[in-house]
Amino acid sequence: METYECEGTRRFDVDYDRHPQLTYETAGAFLAGFDSAAMMSIEALQLVDAATESLGRNPRLGDRYDRGEDRLALVLAFGRGLRAGIQGR
């Protein structure tokens, strides 16, 4: 999720005003979620969304673990992208 679309220019196309919580570093995860939503059935989307929310509550993604907060930011950005992709269907 850190490197998705790293070589492309799409990270610059993300509407950072509409998604102020995103950074350039988390935009790749957002785009991965957004693109994933286009490839999944509604049922699969619901399952992945629920799994993403559950993963976001994992204590290993907290500040007590190495890079936990960075990884949490990626998981949250992926979930936002997934939900934005669902809305765009």
What pLDDT digit, counting tens, does each position of 27-38 carry?
999 999 999 999
71 found inside a domain: yes
66 found inside a domain: yes
- The parts of the chain modelled with pLDDT lower than 70 are 2, 5, 7
47 found inside a domain: yes
67 found inside a domain: yes
Does residue 35 contact residue 82 with C-beta atoms inside 8 Å?
A: no
Please give the model's pTM, rounded to 2 decimal places: 0.85
Q: At what angle do helices 24-39 and 68-87 cross, to 10 degrees?
A: 40
| Angle value at C-alpha 16, between 81 and 32, nearest 5 degrees | 25
Residue 52: the pLDDT is 95
Looking at the 3D structure of the chain, how many domains does it have?
1
49 found inside a domain: yes
Domain extent for 80: 41-89
